[in-house]
Amino acid sequence: MLTRRAALGLFAATPLAYALTSQVALAREPEVFQNPIAINGYDPVAYFAEQKPVEGSAANLVDWNGATWRFASDQNAAKFQANPEIYAPRFGGYCAYAASKGYLAPTIPEAWTIHEDVLYLNANLRAQELWRQDIPGNIKKGLANWPDVLG
């Protein structure tokens, strides 16, 4: 769990992390997810279908790209299995705003955005607010940093 102090430290380090990050654009990002239980056990399909975070169940699991995904229902699991790239969050489930600044940060379920049919997650509500100030620009910066930011 990310503490408030750690989160503030991450945001304080943003300018330095951004300055040290290369700006190499890639055509396609690798699928690297931050946890063995993807997006902290929340159902990625629910963000699209219900427009809110919904915790997944251990009864509805799908293994995909090195992570286990949890779903609130069998129907959501089936939708994901049929086309996981549609539902999986960009930047491996890491904070999209942090990726745009050249570093990694874990996410919380409540800080999310769907933009042009792609799910983006954020570290906290402040990061979500900053992300939403320039979504296209932040996407471009994040893609330029990805996957180099993974180390």
pLDDT for 27 beyond 50: no
How many percent of the chain have pLDDT more than 90? 74
Residue 49 burial by Cβ neighbours in a 10 Å radius (0-12, 13-18, 19+): middle
pLDDT at residue 36, as a whole number: 87
Residue 32's pLDDT band (cuts 50, 70, 90): low
Q: Provide the total of helices (H) and of strands (E) in the chain, helices listed first.
A: 8, 4
Residue 97's pLDDT band (cuts 50, 70, 90): very high
| Cα–Cα distance measured from residue 117 to residue 24, given in angstroms and rounded to the nearest whole number | 24
- Neighbour tally for 92: CB within 10 Å: 24
pLDDT for 87 beyond 50: yes
80: three-class secondary structure by DSSP: helix
Q: Average pLDDT of 71-76?
A: 98
**Would you say 97 and 127 are in contact if contact means Cβ atoms under 8 Å apart?**
yes
Residues 99-144: tens digit of each pLDDT: 999 999 999 999 999 999 999 999 999 999 999 999 999 999 999 9
**Would you say 34 and 93 are in contact if contact means Cβ atoms under 8 Å apart?**
yes
**Would you say 116 and 145 are in contact if contact means Cβ atoms under 8 Å apart?**
no
pLDDT for 14 beyond 70: no
pLDDT at residue 11, as a whole number: 44
Strands 112-115 and 118-121: antiparallel
Give this prediction's pTM. 0.79
Residues 42-60: tens digit of each pLDDT: 999 999 999 999 999 999 9
pLDDT for 26 beyond 90: no
Rg (CA), the chain: 15
Token pair belonging to 103: 């570093």
**Would you say 99 and 32 are in contact if contact means Cβ atoms under 8 Å apart?**
no
pLDDT at residue 149, as a whole number: 94
